[in-house]
Structure 1
């Protein structure tokens, strides 16, 4: 019996999360970042980098995005489709 292990990259995790939320009204960036950080506790990507990866994957797959993560500049959450 052969065991094959696949490496999960942050990019793959972001895309998998977006695909798992395809039928939802929108994807919450804040929830997605928490989920990725839970799945990958050693992730070195910043929240901004994760936000960019999630947004890009959402655009590719046509999933509306709520940019609801807290920002340092205090910007209001935004919803984009």
Structure 2
């Protein structure tokens, strides 16, 4: 028996996270970024790049999204469905 492991890309991790939250009221971008960084500590993508990947996956799968990441001015919260 051969074990085959596939490389998980950041894009695939973002999409998998979105799909795992499909039944929730909305997806928190801040929470998703923390989860991806925990799963992939060597991830070189910036928070902004992760935010864009997650937003694209949310749009593609019809999952409402809360843009609740911290900005230089403070917490900026936007909910989109």
Question: TM-score of the superposition, structure 1-length normalised?
Answer: 0.96
- How far did residue 75 of structure 1 move? 5.8
Residue 56 of structure 2 aligns with which residue?
56
Residue 38 of structure 2 aligns with which residue?
38
Which of structure 1's runs of 4+ aligned residues deviate more than 6 A? none
Match of 1:36, SS state, is: helix
1:24 aligns with 2:4: no
What is the root-mean-square deviation of aligned Cα atoms in Å? 0.9
Match of 2:49, SS state, is: helix
Give the aligned length: 81
Residue 4 of structure 2 aligns with which residue?
4
Query: What are the Cα deviations for residues 37-60 of structure 1, in whole angstroms up to 9, with x where unaligned?
Result: 000000000000000000000000
- How far did residue 3 of structure 1 move? 1.1
Residue 66 of structure 1 aligns with which residue?
66
Question: TM-score of the superposition, structure 2-length normalised?
Answer: 0.96
Match of 2:25, SS state, is: coil
